[in-house]
């Protein structure tokens, strides 16, 4: 799952020539990250990913999506 999220980020960077500051995921994606990459989601620690993860309902988002939100301070923790 982490590989897929990072591929979404890289595709966004190629298309827009800038890095996203948020990646939308659903609860299934979040659970997969927790199961296979628990070190990435350690509570209270900064993620080295460089973007914020935002969890939205699964029926609204079947696949992770990267975005650049203007006016957003750089975050690196799970919302």
pLDDT tens-place string over residues 30-50: 999 989 988 777 765 555 678
Instruction: Please tell me which residue, 24 or 70, carries the higher pLDDT value.
Output: 24
- In this prediction the pTM is 0.79
Q: Answer whether 66's CB lies under 8 Å from 18's CB.
A: no
CA–CA separation, 79 vs 1, rounded Å?
18
Report residue 51: phi and psi, to 5°.
-150, 160
């Amino acid at each position: 799952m982490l590989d897929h999220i990072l591929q979404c980020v890289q595709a966004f960077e190629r298309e827009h020539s800038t890095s996203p500051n948020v990646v939308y995921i659903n609860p299934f994606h979040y659970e997969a990250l927790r199961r296979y990459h628990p070190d990435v989601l350690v509570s209270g620690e900064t993620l080295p990913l460089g973007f914020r993860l935002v969890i939205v309902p699964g029926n609204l988002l079947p696949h992770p999506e990267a975005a650049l939100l203007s006016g957003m301070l750089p975050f690196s923790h799970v919302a």
